[in-house]
Chains A and B, each alone.
Chain A
Amino acid sequence: MSKVIKLRKGLDINLIGAAERVLTKCPAAASYALVPDHYRGVTPKLLVKVGDKVKAGSPLFFSKEHPEVLFTSPVSGAVGAINRGEKRKILSVVVTPDGENQSEHFDVCPIQELTRERVKDTLLRAGFWPMLIQRPFGIIAQSDTTPKAIFVSGLDTAPLAPDLNFLVQDQGEHIIAGLEALKKLTDGKVHLTVGTDTTAGVLSRIKQAEVHHIEGPHPAGNVGVQISQIDPIAKGDIVWTVELQHVAMIGRLFLTGTVDMSKIVALTGSEVVKPHYFKVISGALISSITDGNLRTTPETDAKTDGHDVRIISGNPLTGIKVPLDEVEGYLGFYHNQITVIPEGNKYELLGWAMPRFNKFSVSHSYFSWLFPKKKYNLDTNMNGGPRAFVQTGIYDKVMPMNIYPLYLIKAILAGDIDKMENLGIYEVIEEDVALCEFIDPSKNEWQAILGRGIEQMIKELN
């Protein structure tokens, strides 16, 4: 076993509703969709119209900024709807499945004989290219660049996160093939970082990548943190990251020549009756998964003043709030988890002065430090109003990177490009500051601020 990376900084948030290791095959969802907003910096240009027949892997739209990057249907069926919002912005491209499981076909050859050009070409045509995320900035990889390394995280430490070893339990050979294919894309190494407690799982047997072990609290599973520990990004560096289940999909593509975007997601959260795992296909309608599994039925509450629960595609720190409709209510492309937690749209009498035994806080002015094992049922209440930054020194405790988070965020607020660059904006994306946002007593929107900073950087560098 190689040297173990030990993190001391960070924070594990124990919530009620972690998924039990039980897998259910979800019946086919009523519809599947791609939501352009799930990708950074993509302006969709449509290639289909309503009613067109598509197979799994047939392109639905491409990116105006990078026309070679195609976005393809995850299932076979017909284009059911193209939902547009204000200024005719495309909200989602919906495919209604026909149950025939037809797929576009791509030539197969032994993995060892693949060339870089061929891997690139196949990934682009099959619509798998958006699985490659480029750092700095967390954009879809630019196909004309060669990354210095590719990083894959083999663990997820976010609140209620699924056990990645369980997600890929029967995907061993697909992951191996995927890693081999990814190796063709870089001159450097493909790094796989796994937890120290996964001695029995699939991931412990993988030798096809540079394997690292990491232990510590969240965000140990964030690939950005792993990069900063293994081979930090400097100005001018380009690295790519790929999500673990996407590695398996890439492997399947090159082994079988067909597009199979099925994956396993965890349905979690305190509002789920029996949190466990589901086998679904990427882009599935979320209500097809949650139906019958929630404690309260949102339909009844929708008529009253707002929803009683919040459905999140992803984890409670970084996920996307989704409505339960057929416009935007689809599983995010990069998400392995659906979380349902109560909305916190309630008043609490003198709450700031009460002992609040049921609330979680890093501060010792609450009592959650007394019960490190206790699981909490947190809602979406802000627990306070927005203020200027006052407290210092607390953010560093949840940021296991060589970065001064408060200074970086202030540089972004000031719009100072040079400072952002000097203070490390190349090394982080939104998920890396999610914990700072969680603990912030001044309730600032760290992820949104960093998002604006990244957009400004992208504009400035072009």
Chain B
Amino acid sequence: MKGLRNYLNKIKPNFEKGGKYGKFASTFEAFESFLYVPNTVTKCGAHIRDAMDLKRTMTVVIVALLPALLFGMFNVGYQHNNVALGLTDTTVMQNFWFGFLKVLPIIVVAYVVGLGIEFLFAEIRHEEVNEGFLVSGLLIPMIMPVDCPLWIVAVATAFAVIVGKEMFGGTGMNIFNPALLARAFIFFAYPTAISGNEVWVAGLKNASASGMQLVDGYSGATPLGDAAAAMSSGAQSIDWSMSTTPIDWFYGFIPGSIGETSTLAILIGAFILIWTGVGSWRIMVSCVAGGLAMGGLFNLIGANILMDIPAWYHLIIGGFAFGTVFMATDPVTAAQTNRGKYIYGFLIGVFCVMTRVLNPGYPEGMMLAILFMNAMAPLIDYYVVQGNVKRRLKRAKANA
């Protein structure tokens, strides 16, 4: 490995200011610091520093995402082969491989487009490339329907990175969660690509054209879709399609966005995030509390079948778990004070369930709840910090 280091040392001058490839200084730095922790030493202030840096922080989040991602890949194959087509002889590996081939292109597109823009902006600003997109670039595929056209993923990613992040100054400065912004962009610009019953299972949209032999009566609807359909048709009870049960929802054997279906896999991720301190347990706990509280309130009112869905169902269907663990906890866009985090998380849970139950147009509410609270987070923090300021002013007054 010494040779690699020597080679890097040899070519490094080319990438410094005034060097042959001086324009690519940030790009070189990004790859070099990926390979080697740089040899920079402290110049002022504390002479020793904690071993934690943003590279490792982001790596922890990626590791936490892996269980949900791997299950998601498997589930893409499972939903396609076993549920939609009714095959019974596919193995776990076959299902996984089917899903892997479907999901990998989406990941590649998100990373190439997003990182390309990040590198470009870093060069323009003469800054080091920020690691933030390593997480965003994985989150974006995981909240997409598997059949989302790649060009839409590319456009949405570009929009999220440029408008959501770079316009504000890059990672750490953004107001909205970039990954959710990408999804919201598709939701409003290309609604047919991300809503309805057909988009959640691979190949379902063009099933008749491509000659897929579907199981009788198969619709591809998600549990939330079932609930919304029952509501609009005026049914007396919700008919869960493919007769899935809450235990299926918890394990994740249901259609949905790629990474969101398995509450179990997401819980493993949540454990990693909380244990390493990278994700805020305050937000996760209060978000669940908020969802349960709102769901419970609707149960008490019980005016229609949507209100009668047991409160805890909400936690394991749709994007609630994924949003709670991986989206709401983004430290940049969440509330930043500890007290603020409780309020922020609680309200996300409340608004998510409220949107699901009261909004007849669109069955899922997590995305909009988080984006809305992203916008509100600075206001929450303002009042929390203001409490501290008031105490300080009071003390000054008592002295005077």
Flag if A347 contacts B40 (CB, 8 Å): no
Known A384-B55, A441-B53; contact A347-B39, beta-carbon cutoff 8 A: yes
CA–CA, A424 to B393, complex, Å? Answer: 10
Q: Is B217 an interface residue (CB 8 A)?
A: no
- Given A316-B48, A402-B388, A448-B44, check contact A347 B36 (CB 8 Å): yes
* B56 interface residue per 8 A CB criterion: yes
A392 touches B46 (CB 8 A): no
Once the chains are docked, how many angstroms separate the CA of A350 from the CA of B389?
44
- Residue pairs across A and B with CB atoms within 8 Å: the count is 222
Query: How far does the alpha carbon of A402 sit from the alpha carbon of B388 in the complex, in Å?
Result: 8
**Measured between alpha carbons, how far is A386 from B29 in the docked complex, in Å?**
12
Are B49 and A382 within 8 A (Cβ)?
Answer: yes
Complex Cα spacing A448 to B130, Å: 23
CB-based contact B170/A349 at 8 Å? no
Contacts of A424 on B, CB cut-off 8 Å? 388, 392
B171 contacts the other chain (Cβ, under 8 Å)? yes
A159–B172 Cα distance when bound, in Å, is 31
Which residue of the partner chain, among B34, B54, B170, B341, contacts A384 with CB atoms under 8 Å? B54
Interface residues of B in 30-67 (CB under 8 A from A): 33-57, 59-60
- A447 and B29 alpha carbons, distance in the complex (Å): 26
Question: Min CB distance, A405 to chain B, in Å?
Answer: 11
Give chain A residues whose Cβ lies under 8 Å from the Cβ of B52.
361-363, 365-366, 383-384, 439, 441
Q: How far is the CA of A353 from the CA of B134 in the complex (A)?
A: 14
- Does residue A317 face the partner (Cβ distance < 8 Å to B)? yes
Name the CB-closest residue of B to A427: B392
Nearest B residue to A237 via CB reads B399
Q: Say yes or no: B39 contacts A344, CB within 8 Å.
A: yes
Q: In the complex the two chains form, is A234's CB within 8 Å of B395's CB?
A: yes
Q: How large is the interface on A (under 10, 10 to 19, 20 to 34, 35 or more residues)?
A: 35 or more
Residues of A within 8 Å of B53, CB to CB, are: 352, 383-385, 387, 441-443
Interface centre among B37, B41, B171, B282 (most CB of A within 10 A): B37
Q: Tell me if A317 and B39 are in contact (CB < 8 A).
A: no
From B35, B50, B331, residue with most partner A Cβ within 10 Å? B50
How long is the Cα–Cα vector from A384 to B57 in the complex, in angstroms?
Answer: 11
In the bound complex, do residue B54 and residue A437 qualify as a contact, i.e. CB atoms below 8 Å apart?
no
A389 touches B46 (CB 8 A): no
Q: Is the C-beta of A156 less than 8 angstroms from some C-beta in chain B?
A: no
Residues of chain B from 370 to 396 with CB closer than 8 A to chain A in the complex: 385, 388-389, 391-393, 395-396
Residues of the A chain whose Cβ atoms lie less than 8 Å from the Cβ of B50: 360-363, 383, 438-441
State the CA gap A381–B56 with chains docked (Å): 16
Task: A361 to B278: give the CA distance in the assembly, Å.
Answer: 13
- Whether A437 touches B46, Cβ cut-off 8 Å, given contacts A236-B400, A351-B36, A442-B54, is yes
Q: Which residue of A234, A352, A439 contacts B396 across the interface (Cβ within 8 Å)?
A: A234
Stretch of B73-81, B98-106, B332-340 contacting A (4+ beta carbons < 8 Å): B332-340
Chain B residue nearest in CB terms to A435: B46
B1 adjacent to chain A (CB < 8 Å): yes
Q: Is the CB of B171 within 8 A of A234?
A: no
Given contacts A237-B399, A390-B331, A394-B277, contact A442 B172 (CB under 8 A): yes
Q: Does A445 sit within 8 A of B, measured CB to CB? A: yes
With both chains docked as a complex, state the minimum distance between the C-beta of B370 and any C-beta of chain A, in angstroms. 16
CB atoms of A390 and B396 under 8 A apart:
no
| Neighbour of A446 across the interface among B41, B45, B47, B391, CB < 8 A | B45
Contact of B48 among A362, A380, A430, A441 (CB under 8 A): A380
A359 proximity list for chain B (CB < 8 A) = 51
Which residue of chain B is the closest to A315 with respect to CB atoms?
B47
Smallest Cβ distance from A50 to chain B, in angstroms?
31
* Complex interface: chain B residues within 8 A of A378 (CB): 48
B49 touches A390 (CB 8 A): no
Chain A residues, CB < 8 A from B280 = 392-393
* Chain A residues near B55 (CB-CB < 8 A): 352-353, 384
With an 8 Å Cβ cutoff, the count of chain B residues facing the other chain is 63
A217 CB within 8 Å of chain B: no
Question: Which residues B75-134 have CB closer than 8 A to chain A?
Answer: 128, 130-132
B residues near A344, Cβ cutoff 8 Å: 39, 41
How close is B11's CB to chain A, nearest CB, in angstroms?
A: 14
Chain A residues contacting B398 (CB-CB under 8 Å) are 234
> A388 near B169 (CB under 8 angstroms)?
yes
Task: Answer whether residue B275 sits at the interface, using C-beta atoms and an 8 A cutoff.
Answer: yes
Is A393 within 8 A of B172, CB to CB? no
Residues of A within 8 A of B297 (CB): none
* Inter-chain contact B47/A380, CB cutoff 8 Å: yes
Given known pairs A365-B52, A390-B57, A393-B336, the reply for A437 and B36 (CB within 8 Å) is no
Judged by a CB distance under 8 angstroms, whether A263 is at the interface is no
Given the interface pairs A422-B389, A447-B46, the reply to whether A363 lies near B276 with Cβ below 8 Å is yes
Contact of A387 among B60, B172, B334, B395 (CB under 8 A): B172
Q: How far, in whole Å, are A406 and B35 apart by their CA atoms in the complex?
A: 31
- The answer to the question of B173 belonging to the interface, with a C-beta cut-off of 8 Å to chain A, is yes
With an 8 A cutoff between CB atoms, is B5 at the interface? yes
Scoring B40, B130, B282 by chain A CB atoms within 10 A of each residue's CB, the highest score goes to B40
- Residue of B57, B275, B388 near A391 (CB, 8 A) is B57
Q: A438-B48, A442-B172 are in contact. Are A232 and B395 (CB under 8 A)?
A: yes
Distance from B327 Cβ to chain A, minimum over Cβ atoms (Å)? 15
Q: Is the CB of A404 within 8 A of B399?
A: no
Most buried by A among B54, B59, B60: B54
Task: Please report the C-alpha to C-alpha distance between residue A361 and residue B50 in the assembled complex, in whole angstroms.
Answer: 5
Q: Which residues of B contact A10 (CB under 8 A)?
A: none
Query: For the complex, what is the distance from the CA of A236 to the CA of B391, rounded to whole Å?
Result: 15
CB-CB < 8 A to A64: which residues of B? none
Report the Cα distance A344→B48, complex, angstroms: 9
Contact A396 B338 (CB under 8 A): yes
Q: Which residue of B lies closest to A450 (CB)?
A: B45
| Given known A381-B40, A384-B55, A442-B54, contact A317–B337 (CB-CB < 8 A) | no
- C-alpha spacing A83/B275, complex, angstroms: 53
Residues of B within 8 A of A382 (CB): 38, 40-42, 49
Which of B43, B171, B338 is close to A393, meaning CB atoms less than 8 Å apart? B338
- Which residues in B have their C-beta under 8 angstroms from that of A363? 50-52, 56-57, 276-278
- B56 neighbours in A (Cβ, 8 Å): 352-353, 363, 365, 441
Q: Give Cα A356–Cα B51 distance, bound, in whole angstroms.
A: 9
- Residue in chain B with minimal CB distance to A321: B47
Q: Is A123 interfacial (CB-CB < 8 Å)?
A: no
Q: Are A347 and B46 in contact (CB under 8 A)?
A: no
List 15 A–B pairs whose Cβ atoms lie within 8 Å, in order of A's numbering: A319-B47, A348-B37, A350-B36, A351-B37, A361-B52, A363-B52, A363-B56, A366-B51, A381-B39, A381-B40, A384-B37, A387-B131, A391-B57, A422-B392, A423-B388
Beyond A318-B46, A343-B41, A384-B37, list 17 extra A-B contacts (CB 8 Å): A15-B48, A234-B392, A234-B398, A341-B47, A345-B40, A348-B37, A353-B59, A361-B50, A363-B278, A364-B276, A365-B276, A383-B37, A390-B57, A391-B331, A393-B338, A441-B52, A442-B172
Chain A residues engaging chain B, CB cutoff 8 angstroms: 13, 15, 159, 232, 234-237, 310, 312, 316-319, 321, 339, 341, 343-353, 356, 359-366, 378-394, 396, 402-404, 406-407, 422-424, 430, 434, 437-443, 445-448
Q: Which 5 A-B pairs have the closest CB atoms?
A: A384-B53, A388-B172, A351-B37, A359-B51, A447-B45
Question: What is the interface of chain B, defined by CB distance below 8 A to chain A?
Answer: 1, 5, 29, 33-57, 59-60, 128, 130-132, 169-173, 275-278, 280, 282, 331-332, 334, 336-338, 341, 385, 388-389, 391-393, 395-396, 398-400
